Structure 1
Amino acid sequence: MISKTTIDQVYETARLEEVIGDFVQLKKSGSNFKGLSPFSDERTPSFMVSPVKQIWKDFSSGKGGNVVAFLMEHEHFTYPEAIRYLAKKYNIEIEETEQSDEQKEQANERESMYLVSEYARKYFSEILWESEPGKAIGLTYFKERGFTDDTIRKFGLGYGLDQWDAFTQTALDKGYQLEFLEKTGLTIVKEQTTGEPRKFDRFKGRVLFPIHSMSGRVLGFGGRILTNDKKAAKYLNSPESEIYHKSKVLYGIYFAKQAIAKEDNCYLVEGYTDVIQMYQRGVENVVASSGTALTPEQIRLINRLTKNITVLFDGDAAGLRASLRGIDLILEQGMNVKVCTFPEGEDPDSFSKNNSYEDLVLYLDENAKDFIQFKTSLLAQEAANDPIKRADTVRDIVNSISKIPDRIKKEIYIQECAKIMEISEEVLYDTLAQIDKKGFAEASKKIKQEQKAFEVVKNDQVVEKVDVQYELERKIIEMLLLYGNLKQEFEDLVLKENEEGELVLEPEKIEAKVYEKVYLDLQEDEIELTNTQFRTIYYKLIEDLNEREEFTVNTFIANLNQEMVSEVSSILMEEERYVLHDWERKEIYPKEKGQGIAQLVGETILTLRCNLIKTRIQKLQKGTEGNNGDNSEVLEEIVNYLQLNKLLNAKLNRVLS
């Protein structure tokens, strides 16, 4: 178990913007940062990070929290894993306390699969470096590919012995459960009609490429066979599992993420060795789709780090056309695409191996074409002098342009296409309109079909009422978080009788800290927050503000459970919606937080009192309904409450009907 000293040090050292910046491309926005949500598919940023408060909020999914909450949400870490990840990132030594058997048993299935995968990576690496077959076969292969010792170690490359169950048996002897060896796909289990089930190593006799998540966790493996066994697949990947979904993973993203964000461009290749060779040569912003067709999920992974993708193709023309579908997918995500092909017979692996860093970078810069230039030149060559093929080519290109969400980009690409294909812009716009119209018609048809599945009752629409009590309690928590320790001059209201015998509210000036004023006012009126979570947060805040001279939101959040962390971050980041909508550019200037704190506190408490009086009056009135007895005392109480309510509302400049 990790000690509290280590946890406190992690919270004090970790910088939220740096940690999230490893996963999401963040841009400065005033005192905050904003970026695309890593939790939903979007083109307009709704993800906000506050370096001052050390919290984040994703307005598209509603998620939010501190640095640990982000890692738990994004990487599916457990709390200890998130702390360990941050400790490693900031070179903090982890202090451990003894873990009980019960705590060990609580590691969930997902975590057990991660542990098995990490053990497998270490095992295969040890076999590669320390066993005779590993060195003679695996290491020799990697050296022949031109990989250095440092590169082999960095990417965690390994080798599986050419034996039926060498890995499985070793893992079982080490205490790893067969259930998780099978679920990760590392072991194949075949039931027998009699006796024990047979167990086989999936990756026996293969060199291995561990596949990492964006945070560096081992999700699965890619294995290449080195013999000429025609019955066995040349490349074999881990099967889909709870932790490995190949359509959502990019090989090399963990090693490339910082370079992608820095260079503001990502090179997309096909295979493992392409990535490793380019990385070794010095071009680090490179990832691979690992031989699978490119998916929207993989593109969105890159989209969080940059808007620019350069797709690298082998020099062989075969299969180029099939790969163009991937370009359309990238365009649909609103990204900028360039394409670069290598000379005949070359691929990213061989070209990087045979050229210097300078020559490689120069080649990529000079030969990367905009997708429209690449597609037109490729398809125009195929069409040659055939008018029908030429027409199909133009339609194909316009179809790609139709995928682009940005209208300005669409127009520029239409103009570019018109020049290259020597056809009028008017014809291209007409074709584009037809494609867009067809797409709109299909979308409308789909929406209508979905609507038919639901019974819509137009006359009985229920308008959701605002829960005034909830909003006021939320506002109290917000004030304590933002201004709890600030000293202010408040105008207190004291109920007195004037010379005419009427009750009036007379103002009195007092100086106090915000949290003292709120606490005393609520205690005086015997007001208890009704929302359970707000009530818990409220008492924790009062306790912290009373005990700590230097209260900080970051320290306070560190001691809350993740549900409360999410709630607190939502409250604190609410005003960041103004930043996202960029209202100031539209000459709308929202009132800044911190303006008139004493007034805000006073008005909130007054409004809460008015709301509680109103609720009390309604209860008293309900008690008199159908009661034929003497209600004079109750009616007198109602009149007194109405009079007090009128006075309080007058102070708030509200007119009561």
Structure 2
Amino acid sequence: MIDPKTVSRILDTAQIVDVVSDFVTLRRRGANYVGLCPFHDEKTGSFVVSPAKGIFKCFGCGKAGGPVHFIMEHEQLDYPGALRYLAKKYGIEIVEKELSAEEKQAQSERESLFAVNDWAARYFIDTLNNTEEGRSVGISYFRERGFTDETIRKFGLGYCPSEGSAMCRAALAHGFKAEFIEKTGVGLRRDNGAWYDRFRGRVIFPVHTLSGKVVAFGGRVLEKNDKTAKYVNSPESEIYSKSHELYGIYFAKQSIVKADRCFLVEGYTDVISMHQAGVTNVVASSGTSLTEGQIRLIHRFTPNITVLYDGDNAGIKASVRGIDMLLAEGMNVKVVLLPDGEDPDSYARGHNASDFIRFIDENQTDFIHFKVKLLKGEVGTDPIKRAQLVQDVVRSIALMPDNITRMVYTKECAEMLDMDEGTLANEVRRVHDAKRTEEMKRAGYNPDNSRKRTTDPAYRHVGQGAGVQPPVQAREAGGENASPPDEGDIPHQTDGISQQPELVNEAFAARSPFYSHERNIIQEVVRHGGQVMCYEEGDDGAAVPLTVGRYVIEELAELRGEMGCMVHDAVYARILDEMAEHTAEVGFDTARYFTGHTDPDISCEAANLVSEQYQLSRIFTKEDEYTGDPNDKKDMEIYLRHKEEKERKELFDVVVKVVFEYKSEIVESKNKALLAEMREAQAAGDMPRVFEIIREQQTLKEISKQLGAHCGHRVLAR
């Protein structure tokens, strides 16, 4: 367990912009920051961070929360794990207790897999540096590559002993479960149950996540053997998907942001040698074909990428598909062809950072021009090959999402290919439109419907009442190209209609007419639960402050007896239950408490509620701004008191109104049920029951009249 005081210190220290910036490039927009969402695929930023509120919110996928919840989501950690992550980031000491056998048993699979990898990384490093075999084989190899001790330490390079199962035995002796050793891939079992090490006799290159956790390994064999693969990599697992990882991204992310450019190479040693030379904004696809996930990972930090090739034309042609994928993601792609006989590794070992960068800047070529030049040399006078060249170039240009960019490239390529610009432009437009139509069909978009709806039968869109903006779980038809608001961190209401639909559980939505009313109430509780909305007369006649939280809890308490609950939604019910424990705390920071909650359902919903466009003093206009002498303290005090009273009055009016509307909806719902029951009684000829229902309806009518006064009668002084 982490001490509560330590938890508070972590929450007080962690700054949302600082935390998110480790993973997302943020641009300031007004009082907030925007960037590309790390939780779903998008090309334009719908991810907003509010430093004032201490939360993030994505208007594309609906993810929201505070610093702890961001780390929980991004790093797939539980609440204590996220706290430990932030404590490490900010240098806050946490005394970890030794886990018992039962606690180890209860660890999640992801945590267990990461634990095995963390241990394995340290094992490889220890073997490299502290065994005769490691020093004579592993260190010797790295020295031949020109790696310094500092570089070896920085990248966590290691060595696995050649003896068949030494590592597996060590892992089992350390207490790791066999299933996790196998799932990470560091150890394997033969059909007879005997263990053997996957990376035996290989130098090790750990693969780090964006946050620096070891997620996988690459092992290079040192002995020449045609029957043995040169490289062996960790298998995919619960924590590792090679299509979403880039070698070196952890070490490069800050440099990429600073340079606003990323260099893409192929292998581990390319990255390491370039780092050692001083060129640190570099990542590698690790010999695999570039994937959309990897491209989007780069795009979160910069839209500018330079691909470095050696002189192998065959290798260049094989990678063209990956370049086209970069274009499709809106990246600005440059290509550099290194001198004959050189690759990024060898060239970096022979040059310093300034020489390397100078060569790149002087020799980089826009990819489309590079592609035309590359393929044009093979065409000659063959008209069929020439047509294929044009079609190939058209496909690449058509992938670009920006219309102006496509127009510019079309014009330039028409000149390079000696073609009519209009003809080329028409073909680019045709291919682009066909691609877009196909994408929309795959996404299930119905052009006759203004919204793209989910196909999951467990969810449905629910219309909201005026003044309520639901948490965004679905996109408008504009999809990822829809821009977030310019000001504030959420879209406001237009004519009382929610601008975006919400996906809620169908079971609740189908049976409850109360959702929008409950949400209004919980919104006020989360935002203002600890604020004083008015004063009521105590038993001794003194004025007692009445907070929003206490008012709501006391007003809705009677419903628990009638309905079995104060609200129907399970998350909202948990929020009210916890609010009830803090009703006596005037000034209790409900927004911080709930957005930083250990329950991700509560923290996410609280962040949604807090993040919506809202200005408490809507009636406090510019005409009410202080225009007197700022040095006149007495006059200033009168002004501030007047302002506070107006704000408290508005808060009172809003809270009383939402509670009144909720109770009125309950009365109306009961009235509808009585009408249905009356029809059944009339059809059955049960007149005594009909008259009984009429009396109940009259009672409900009277209750409805009294509700307004009942909700507001407690005020003594606003």
Following superposition, the deviation at residue 649 of structure 1 comes to 8.6
**Matched AA of 1:212:** H
Note if 1:470 corresponds to 2:508: no
Structure 1 residues 192-247: Cα deviation after superposition (integer angstroms, max 9, x where no partner):
3xxxx222211111111001111212111111111122221111111222222212
Summarize the Cα distance change of 1:222–1:428 in structure 2 as closer, same or farther, 3 Å threshold.
same
Match for residue 616 of structure 1?
Answer: 670
Task: Supply the AA of the counterpart residue of 1:218.
Answer: V
Measured at CA, do residues 249 and 345 of structure 1 come closer, stay the same or move farther in structure 2, by a change above 3 Å?
same
Alignment equivalent of 1:419, drawn from 397, 400, 415: 415
CA distance in 2 between counterparts of 1:365 and 1:545 reads 63
Deviation, 1:516, is 4.5
* Letter matched to residue 616 of structure 1: K
Q: Equivalents in 2 of 1:330, 1:338: separation in Å? A: 11
Distance 2:395 2:696 in 1: 74
Residue 98 of structure 2 is aligned to residue 60 of structure 1: no
Counterpart for residue 525 of structure 2: 480
Aligned residues: 606
CA contact (8 A) 1:3 1:96 kept: no
Distance 1:43 1:649, change over 3 A: farther
Q: Retained in 1: the 8 A contact 2:172–2:178?
A: yes
Q: 2:34 aligns to what SS in structure 1?
A: strand
- In structure 2, the CA distance between the partners of 1:289 and 1:482, relative to structure 1 (3 Å rule), is same
**Partner amino acid, structure 1, of 2:216:** G
Match in the other structure for 2:366: 370
1:641 aligns with 2:641: no
Q: Report SS of the residue matched to 1:43.
A: coil
1:303 aligns with 2:299: yes
Which residue pairs with 1:205 in the alignment?
201
* SS at 1:224 equivalent: strand
Secondary structure at the aligned position of 1:544 is classed as: coil
**More deviation in 417-426 or 148-157?**
417-426
Match status 1:629 vs 2:694? no
Superposed, 1:2-81 pairs within 5 Å as 2-81=2-81
**For the Cα contact (< 8 Å) 1:38–1:304, is it kept in 2?**
yes
State the alpha-carbon separation in 2 of the partners of residues 556 and 449 from structure 1.
Answer: 36
User: CA 1:335/1:448 → structure 2, altered by over 3 Å: closer, same or farther?
Assistant: closer
1:412-452 deviation per Cα after TM superposition (whole angstroms, max 9, x unaligned): 1111212322322112113223423554676688689999x
Output the CA distance in 1 between the equivalents of 2:334 and 2:613. 38
Q: Measure the CA separation in 2 of the matches of 1:181 and 1:113.
A: 8
| Residue of 243, 251, 267 corresponding to 2:263 | 267
Q: How does 1:421-500 map to 2 (within 5 A)?
A: 421-436=417-432, 438-439=434-435, 467-488=512-533
Contact 2:532 2:648 in 1 (8 A): no
| Structure 2 residue matching 1:156: 3-state secondary structure | coil
Equivalents in 1 of 2:148, 2:586: separation in Å?
A: 54
Q: 1:365 to 1:541 in 2, by over 3 A?
A: farther
Q: Structure 2 CA distance, aligned partners of 1:561 and 1:40?
A: 22
Deviates more, 1:379-388 or 1:598-607: 379-388
Which position in structure 2 is the counterpart of 1:515? 549
Match of 1:89, as an amino acid?
K
Q: Does 1:112 align with 2:112?
A: yes
Equivalent residue for 2:579, pick from 518, 535, 541 = 541
Would the alpha carbon gap of residues 121 and 52 (structure 1) be closer, same or farther in structure 2, given more than 3 Å must change? same
State whether residues 124 and 158 of structure 2, in contact with CA within 8 Å, keep that contact through their aligned partners in structure 1.
yes
Who is 1:605 aligned against?
659
Residue among 585, 604, 629 paired with 1:566: 604
- Using the alignment, how far apart are the partners of 2:558 and 2:174 within structure 1? 63
State which of 399, 402, 410 in structure 2 corresponds to 1:403.
399
Partner of 1:506: none
Structure 1 residues 650 and 286: alpha-carbon distance in aligned structure 2, compared to 1, 3 A threshold? same
For the residues of structure 1 that align with 2:461 and 2:233, how far apart are their CA atoms?
52
SS at match of 2:319: helix
- Whether the 8 Å contact between 2:35 and 2:46 is mirrored in structure 1 is yes
Tell me the distance in 1 between the aligned counterparts of 2:689 and 2:349. 99
Q: Does structure 2 retain, via aligned residues, the 8 Å contact 1:206–1:225?
A: yes
TM-score w.r.t. length of structure 2: 0.78
The answer to whether the Cα contact below 8 Å between 1:490 and 1:602 also exists between their aligned partners in 2 is: no
Amino acid at match of 1:304: R
* Residues 491 and 599 of structure 1, relative CA distance in 2, 3 Å threshold: farther
Is the Cα contact below 8 Å between 1:315 and 1:345 reproduced in 2? yes
Shift of 1:42: 1.7
- Cα separation, 2, equivalents of 1:435 and 1:595: 60
Native 8 Å contact 1:545 1:551 kept in 2: no
Give the conservation status (yes or no) of the 8 Å contact 2:151–2:276: yes
Aligned residues of 1:186 and 1:203 also touching (Cα < 8 A): yes
Q: In the alignment, what sits opposite 1:380? A: 376
1:286 to 282, 289, 300: 282
Secondary structure of 1:105's counterpart equals helix
Task: Give the AA of the match of 2:608.
Answer: S
Q: Are the equivalent residues in 2 in contact too, given 1:116–1:180 (CA < 8 A)?
A: yes
Conserved? CA contact 1:490–1:598, under 8 Å: no
1:267 shift after superposition: 1.1
Q: Is the 8 A contact 1:557 1:565 kept in 2?
A: yes
Distance of 2:678 and 2:395 partners within structure 1: 72
**Could you tell me the TM-score, scaled by structure 1's length?**
0.84
- The answer for unaligned runs of 5 or more in structure 1 is 452-461, 493-508, 577-592, 653-657
Name the residue aligned to 1:157: 157
Q: Give secondary structure in 1 for the equivalent of 2:313.
A: coil
Cα shift at 1:322: 1.3
The DSSP-based 3-state class of the residue aligned with 2:582 is helix
Shift of 1:369: 1.7
Contact 1:270/1:291, CA 8 A, preserved across alignment: yes
Cα distance change on mapping 1:437 and 1:606 into 2, 3 Å:
closer
Structure 2 CA distance, aligned partners of 1:284 and 1:346?
A: 19
Paired AA for residue 325 in structure 1 = R
Per-residue deviation at 1:151? 1.1
Distance in 1, matches of 2:197 and 2:99, equals 32
**Corresponding residue of 1:253:** 249
Q: Which amino acid aligns with 2:652?
A: A
**Contact kept? 2:528, 2:590, Cα under 8 Å:** no
Q: Give the letter for the 2:420 counterpart.
A: S
Q: Counterparts in 2 of 1:68-107, with a 5 A limit? A: 68-97=68-97, 99-107=99-107
Distance of aligned partners of 1:235 and 1:572 in 2 relative to their CA distance in 1, 3 Å threshold: same
Once residues 45 and 85 of structure 2 are traced to their aligned partners in structure 1, the CA distance between those partners, rounded to angstroms, is 27
Aligned CA distance change for structure 1 residues 491 and 428 (closer, same or farther; 3 Å): farther
**Is the 8 Å Cα contact of residues 309 and 336 (structure 1) preserved in structure 2?**
yes
Report the CA distance between 1:8 and its aligned residue: 2.4
What letter is aligned with 2:96? Answer: E
Describe the superposition over 1:439-470 as per-residue Cα deviations: whole angstroms up to 9, x where unpaired: 4676688689999xxxxxxxxxx996765422
Greater alpha carbon shift after TM alignment, 427-436 vs 8-17: 427-436
Q: 1:541 to 1:447 in 2, by over 3 A?
A: closer
1:413 alignment partner AA: Y
Q: Aligned-pair RMSD on alpha carbons?
A: 3.2
- When structure 1 is superposed on structure 2, of 86-95 and 37-46 the one drifting more is 37-46
Structure 2 CA distance for partners of 1:438 and 1:29, relative to 1, 3 Å? closer
Change (3 A) 1:448 1:602: closer
Change beyond 3 A, Cα 1:623–1:321: closer
Alpha carbons 2:236, 2:242 under 8 Å: kept? yes
- When residues 157 and 550 of structure 1 are mapped into structure 2, their CA distance, relative to the original with a 3 A threshold, is same
| Separation in structure 2 between the aligned mates of residue 361 and residue 97 of structure 1, nearest angstrom | 49
8 A contact 1:544–1:556 mirrored in 2: no
Q: Which amino acid aligns with 1:606?
A: F
